[in-house]
Amino acid sequence: MEYQTIAVDKDAPICVVTINRPEKLNALNQQTITELNDVMETLAEDDSVRAIVLTGAGPKAFVAGADISEIAHLNGEAGKQFAEKGQQVFRFIEKMKKPVIAAINGFALGGGCELAMSCHLRIAATHAKLGQPEINLGIIPGYGGTQRLPRLIGLSNALYLLCTGEMISAEKAMELGLVSEVVEGEQLLERAKNLAHQLAEKAPLALHYILDAVYRGINVDLDTALDIEAECFGAVCDTEDMKEGTEAFLNKRKPVFKGR
Ligand code: COA
């Protein structure tokens, strides 16, 4: 598939996916959502790619939200479908078996903040601004923001940001735990790619089971969550990479993981 709103730069074992509508600050229209879905489904199946960086084109924006010109025409039924479609794509990203890193290179607002939150790791440029300004449009977040924001930064801070629509700096986002790192804008992509390479060297199945245990466990009671962890620990003990990792340690050499 040829993409008009997304650029894909595969350099195995990593791949950089760029939302590419800089003239509209990379706002997510329906075409972008469809193309993003297709890119991610393709990368999920591509064993040569072990980590993904997601970013926005241009210096100004990661993603400035869902495309407001499309939202303006929605009625109740269409609005529900609109939210469900975006939610499905973002949930697919969150459930991917390989790590996805958001490199937040500017505005990450509304759907942009929600997209970043559906990624597993988030690094922001110093000039980035994050927020859920939907309230200022008379709407609410529909791509997971009301659910992922409180899970990431706690109820008090999430409710403040959701209800005021305030934008926060990268530094503040770091303080709240919304991003894990802040770097200068010109270093952002390089840093995100380095992190992707670092993760690409890890045992892919172990990474998958970490993501699986964390995301399944966070929504259930602790006893059920610990059962999930034990199940994932057992599964990873059946892998060749587990034998390789432990033997390499005992033989004082570097492990080579194969994803088996
Ligand atoms: N949907 C559609 N178009 C958008 C957009 C969005 N979410 N965000 C920005 N754009 C468009 C603008 O309409 C403008 O298009 P135009 O040049 O054809 O008029 C272009 O992108 C540049 O944006 P502009 O507003 O001129 O840039 P700015 O630097 O003055 O302001 C923002 C930047 C991010 C503060 C401002 O664009 C904004 O508030 N965007 C909407 C954020 C939002 O509410 N997101 C949640 C949506 S649910």
Residue 42 has pLDDT above 90, yes or no: yes
Distance of CA 239 from the midpoint of ligand 1 (Å): 48
Residue 245 has pLDDT above 80, yes or no: yes
Distance of CA 111 from the midpoint of ligand 1 (Å): 12
Average pLDDT of the residues in 92-121: 98
Candidates 114, 175, 190, 240; catalytic one = 114
114 has catalytic annotation: yes
Q: What is the pLDDT of residues 159-194, one digit of tens each?
A: 999 999 999 999 999 999 999 999 999 999 999 999
**Dihedral angle computed from the Cα positions of residues 173, 177, 180 and 184, in that order, rounded to the nearest 10 degrees:** 20
d(CA 103, CA 53) in angstroms, rounded, equals 7
Helix (H, G, I), strand (E, B) or coil at 44: helix
Q: In what order do the strands lie in the sheet with 51-56?
A: 6-11, 14-19, 51-56, 100-104, 121-125, 181-183
pLDDT confidence of residue 236 = 97
Average pLDDT of the residues in 57-72: 97
Give the architecture (CATH level 2) of 204-250: Orthogonal Bundle (1.10)
175 has catalytic annotation: no
**Dihedral angle computed from the Cα positions of residues 77, 80, 82 and 87, in that order, rounded to the nearest 10 degrees:** -160
Residue 31 has pLDDT above 90, yes or no: yes
Residue 80 has pLDDT above 90, yes or no: yes
Indicate the CATH number of 6-200 among 3.90.1150.10, 3.40.50.720, 2.40.110.10, 3.90.226.10: 3.90.226.10
Residue 220 has pLDDT above 80, yes or no: yes
Ligand 1 close to Cβ of residue 65 (< 6 A) = yes
pLDDT above 90 coverage of the chain, percent:
99
pLDDT confidence of residue 1 = 73
Average pLDDT, the chain: 97
Distance of CA 61 from the midpoint of ligand 1 (Å): 10
Q: How confident is the model at residue 2 (pLDDT cuts 50, 70, 90)?
A: confident
**Nearest protein Cα to ligand 1, atom 19:** 24
Residue 215 has pLDDT above 90, yes or no: yes
Residue 62 has pLDDT above 80, yes or no: yes
Ligand 1 close to Cβ of residue 62 (< 6 A) = no
d(CA 36, CA 92) in angstroms, rounded, equals 10
- Torsions phi, psi of 245, nearest 5? -65, -45
Average pLDDT of the residues in 230-251: 97
What residues does each domain of the chain span?
6-200, 204-250
Q: How confident is the model at residue 90 (pLDDT cuts 50, 70, 90)?
A: very high
Phi-psi label, residue 177: left if phi above 0, alpha if psi -120 to 50, beta otherwise: left
pLDDT confidence of residue 7 = 98
CB 101 within 8 A of CB 54: yes
d(CA 88, CA 188) in angstroms, rounded, equals 28
